[in-house]
Structure 1
């Protein structure tokens, strides 16, 4: 029987609750695969120190943990109220005025950090504040001010987000703060950068171009959280290395009721296009306060796993929650249980399509062979991670070990479903012995035993990107 490892990866957001080395070490031990640094909070220098701390602790624990830098993006927010929170009554008039100082709001008028709002809305448009808890209908636009009628009121505090129902705000994805933060992200050598509030493929291209200019060639993860991003989802996915389904703002703009179907569709399309996908937002939110998740949260995480997501993400649960280590542990348990279902271990992915590259063909052949035999594990030599990425698109219960001498590659594959990074230098063995060396490594890792069937892949020339061109199926024999 193949060894049982958790295939779905866990992204955990770091913050005050996990700032120290002790709490961070607990997250690593409990199964955090990727650490998320949220650039919406904290300062750049602290994020640099945190990234270094993650790598230090991971190395000491014998784990490979990726670092994901999540840019703040162009989140539109109202200003503050000078006398504290205000109570808006249904039917009342309320003005959003970009010329009002951001600290001078009242129960009649408030500032906003986006001066172009008036140009983006017309009479009858619906504005959603504070994740839709407060609903305003545009009554008229006068110059740069937007005059509204309160549809759904209540207590409103300053700094809350503003969304336009069905999308359509023209603000760009990157702010000046993001551009400064991107220098920091490149300097710290983050493995992934998450681009917030993506509208279209041009936003992704701009991000990649800027980061390449800094000499950074990590993975760009496009966050799908605007309604208009769904209209361009195909090209956004193609131009990204992966996507994050950020269900907070997205749910506000398209309605929460539409989210499940959209999530399933995005996960399926990303996997079909050989891209990774992270499912995020409020997955186990109750664990900010409570030591165990609700049953609804258990179902949410399990359904994302069954849909085929590469990773599930914890946000406030690990950043500011009371039980960060327990949240990671609980999420891991849910993932492992969901992964036992047949739908998570069987696939007809690309069974009827042609392959464009030799290494892609080898990857697909390895997975098809593994799923039709009693293969215990797969050992794949990889330079860039492409071979194991293709393998990981095939649903399977068989562990894929990415054997690479490159630390950057090992951290990159830390986000791939069912792939486990292993430090191994193929230069230490001649090409003719690579398959034998890979099989021996699987035994050393405890992934295979005498008598087990294993599959290994490699290239004729060690160290050549895209050079995987051979596959071997063999049974482990006693070397004595």
Structure 2
């Protein structure tokens, strides 16, 4: 019996000054990173291209297929700068957001801001949230180029802090000119996924896809869900899910706009919706933030990661923890341990079968049947899926199981994209190089030689009758490991 434990939940790590060297990337790979995030809020396309090259070289050295996620900045609605660097606001103070002020002329009375069209979305009585909600301002009057406010929650306010509205609704395009320029340069990076920030409609996703197609880029598009008005409108949310390849539960801005108490249920709902629609889902933001400066996570952070795993997320994401933190390797190991701990719970290993749903293809029928059979036949230790496009292992990964899904393909791009799918282990296997009658035996030998299966195990295999044809999966077998 194979005793090797494979973590099913994937880890996304953000690259930054603390982790961008070849040595650091190699150590993060050893610690368990599955996907590297390039944050386009910082750095140039040239810098990101150099990092992507290092990631691919280190992945080859470590014999791993990992994904690269290009996360576009999106619209950033921020205050400008204070001449003194920061100010202290008290409850009841009058404060003015005034676009006529100079970029660095903010003071105790007011400050400029970066996005003038914001005023079209505001009216008297609105509550503005500055610095992730640490400062709250009630809107008293909206003028042509400024807004007068009263402080309702005070504190220290620094330069360049973000502006949100309680309940959401500040209109801004998801793709800025900077994002469009960055998309034009993505061909030099070749990411597997592109994340679109502040998505507000399916049209935002379609626009992004059109721009990517114009660059001849075939990448998966991830919609970042961080606007309150999106989660409040089921039609808009379902439209975004239908148009995208996956979603990111971006809990930072979303939490500010809806409140942390509401965010708990929203996270669970988004993960469930994504899995039902066969979409990938990443849970992000402040998952182990204390480890930016601490070598150990808090118990609350371990529980946060575990709850996302039990909710069924494909991946959990680290941001500043690996980008600028003091313990990037340790935080990845801590997150991996938390995920493994949660995966031992029966809830994480039980399929929620789609008994109420009619399957739409032979491929989907085989994928669903394979998970059902594997979960109910105790000798099966894994599922091998010969795949061209990656669709069959993706479909399999939508159902809960304690068994690894070995995605066997000779397409590196397919294997890299599958690095984000929960429970899927992407492995290079050139099926067309073997005689047709030898493929199954060679696949078993390959998995056994890599300590993924042992003598006496059973392997459930899916494949197409014609090897090398995308979308052709129509066979399922249970094979003994000899």
Alignment TM-score > 0.5, same fold: yes
Q: Does 1:334 align with 2:338?
A: yes
Whether the aligned pair in 2 keeps the contact of 1:201 and 1:235 (CA below 8 Å) is yes
Q: Unaligned 5+ residue runs, structure 2? A: none
| Partners of 1:351 and 1:372 in 2: CA distance | 16
Displacement of 1:352 in angstroms is 2.5
Give the 5 Å matches for 1:278-297: 278-297=282-301
| Partners of 1:394 and 1:7 in 2: CA distance | 12
Displacement of 1:303 in angstroms is 0.3
Q: Say which SS state the counterpart of residue 116 (structure 2) adopts.
A: coil
Whether the aligned pair in 2 keeps the contact of 1:36 and 1:67 (CA below 8 Å) is yes
Alignment partner of 1:347 out of 351, 355, 360: 351
Q: Say which SS state the counterpart of residue 185 (structure 2) adopts.
A: helix
| Partners of 1:439 and 1:262 in 2: CA distance | 42
Please list the CA deviations of residues 207-261 of structure 1 after superposition, one character each: whole Å capped at 9, or x if unmatched.
Answer: 1111111001111000011112212221111111100001010000000111111
In structure 2, the partner of 1:156 is 157
Displacement of 1:435 in angstroms is 2.7
Whether the aligned pair in 2 keeps the contact of 1:435 and 1:457 (CA below 8 Å) is no
Alignment partner of 1:239 out of 243, 248, 251: 243
Displacement of 1:42 in angstroms is 1.6
Q: Unaligned 5+ residue runs, structure 1? A: none
Please list the CA deviations of residues 398-428 of structure 1 after superposition, one character each: whole Å capped at 9, or x if unmatched.
Answer: 0011101111100000000000010111211
In structure 2, the partner of 1:464 is 469
In structure 2, the partner of 1:405 is 410
Displacement of 1:186 in angstroms is 3.1
TM-score, normalising length: structure 1? 0.98
Whether the aligned pair in 2 keeps the contact of 1:431 and 1:460 (CA below 8 Å) is no
Please list the CA deviations of residues 13-51 of structure 1 after superposition, one character each: whole Å capped at 9, or x if unmatched.
Answer: 010111211211110100000000101012221111001
Q: Does 1:433 align with 2:424?
A: no
In structure 2, the partner of 1:416 is 421
Q: Does 1:365 align with 2:369?
A: yes
Paired residues in the alignment total 477
Whether the aligned pair in 2 keeps the contact of 1:26 and 1:325 (CA below 8 Å) is yes
In structure 1, the partner of 2:137 is 136
Displacement of 1:429 in angstroms is 1.9
In structure 2, the partner of 1:258 is 262
Whether the aligned pair in 2 keeps the contact of 1:457 and 1:471 (CA below 8 Å) is yes
| Partners of 2:449 and 2:475 in 1: CA distance | 22
Q: Say which SS state the counterpart of residue 41 (structure 2) adopts.
A: coil
Please list the CA deviations of residues 165-199 of structure 1 after superposition, one character each: whole Å capped at 9, or x if unmatched.
Answer: 10111111011111111122233110111110111
In structure 1, the partner of 2:104 is 103
| Partners of 2:301 and 2:187 in 1: CA distance | 35
Q: Say which SS state the counterpart of residue 18 (structure 2) adopts.
A: helix
Whether the aligned pair in 2 keeps the contact of 1:44 and 1:184 (CA below 8 Å) is yes
Runs of 4+ off more than 4 Å: none
Displacement of 1:436 in angstroms is 2.8
| Partners of 2:106 and 2:21 in 1: CA distance | 37
| Partners of 2:439 and 2:239 in 1: CA distance | 38
| Partners of 1:434 and 1:236 in 2: CA distance | 40
Aligned CA-pair RMSD: 1.1
In structure 1, the partner of 2:317 is 313
| Partners of 1:99 and 1:134 in 2: CA distance | 22
Displacement of 1:59 in angstroms is 0.6
| Partners of 1:199 and 1:99 in 2: CA distance | 29
Q: Does 1:145 align with 2:149?
A: no
Q: Does 1:277 align with 2:281?
A: yes
| Partners of 1:29 and 1:183 in 2: CA distance | 32
In structure 1, the partner of 2:76 is 75
Q: Say which SS state the counterpart of residue 377 (structure 1) adopts.
A: strand
Q: Say which SS state the counterpart of residue 414 (structure 2) adopts.
A: helix
Q: Say which SS state the counterpart of residue 155 (structure 1) adopts.
A: strand
Displacement of 1:434 in angstroms is 2.8
In structure 1, the partner of 2:480 is 475
Moved more, 126-135 or 425-434: 425-434
Displacement of 1:84 in angstroms is 1.8
Displacement of 1:10 in angstroms is 0.2
Displacement of 1:142 in angstroms is 1.6
Displacement of 1:441 in angstroms is 2.3
Please list the CA deviations of residues 133-161 of structure 1 after superposition, one character each: whole Å capped at 9, or x if unmatched.
Answer: 00000001121211111111111111000
| Partners of 2:445 and 2:329 in 1: CA distance | 34
Give the 5 Å matches for 1:378-389: 378-389=383-394
Q: Say which SS state the counterpart of residue 180 (structure 1) adopts.
A: helix
